[in-house]
Amino acid sequence: MKIIIICGSPGTGKTTLANLLAKKGFKIIHLSEFVIKEHLYSDYDYERDSYIIDPKRLVKRILLIAHKESRPIVVEGIGADLLPEKYVSLCIILTCEPGELERRLKEKKYPPEKIWENLEAERLNIILGEALDKYGKKTLVIDTTNRSPEEVLEIILNKIFRNHEDDKDG
């Protein structure tokens, strides 16, 4: 199974990057839309203003798509790390320095309390730490603070290409 996942705090650039990868021929699953459209949630969290993903159904649905799809699949968004390690070929973690992240979240019109919560999570490397534990050597961490989306895309494509070559070499 060759599923690539893109994780990272809100505003680190997951959707932006996935849209660039779509232009390169990858099949993209944007989790925030996908979960709602396919009813892959178990509940709604009113405090956090977000759906609670049902991991079993999410994984099942993505695997079904992966079996039918000839293009490589990229799953992006909060919750992408619900995919078990054995199905994931590469876990991309995007990070961003708090100052720049704050600027991006303000631009995205996040409410102040959400900005604060997300900056705190980014400072504590919560997403990064969990992904490293789960995906180990398959993890690629990219700091997006001083890079353009195109530069980040370049790093990702190089990595995917190199992995592919390594696979062929055995």
Residues that bind ligand ATP (CB under 6 A): 8, 10-17, 78, 104, 144, 147-149, 152
Give the H/E segment covering residue 27: strand 27-30
Strand 3-7 to 50-53 pairing: unpaired
- Provide the H-helix boundaries in 47-97: 55-68
Q: State the minimum distance, in angstroms, from the CB of residue 159 to ligand ATP.
A: 15
Q: Which amino acid would we find at residue 60?
A: K
Find the part of the chain contacting Mg ion (CB under 5 A) among 13-21, 82-90, 111-119, 142-150: 13-21
Residue 17 interacts with, from ligand ATP, Mg ion, none (CB under 5-8 Å by kind): ligand ATP
Residues 6 or more apart whose CB falls under 8 angstroms from that of 136 comprise 85
Q: State the minimum distance, in angstroms, from the CB of residue 137 to ligand ATP.
A: 23
Letters for 40-79 (x = contact with Mg ion by CB under 5 A, - = none) are ----------------------------------------
Q: State the minimum distance, in angstroms, from the CB of residue 170 to ligand ATP.
A: 34
Contact by Cβ (8 Å): 6, 76: yes
Q: How far apart are CA 40 and CA 83, in angstroms?
A: 14
- How many Cα atoms occupy the beta-carbon half-sphere of 79 within 13 Å? 21
Residue 72 interacts with, from ligand ATP, Mg ion, none (CB under 5-8 Å by kind): none
Find the part of the chain contacting Mg ion (CB under 5 A) among 8-16, 55-63, 86-94, 140-148: 8-16
15 binds Mg ion, rule: CB under 5 A: yes
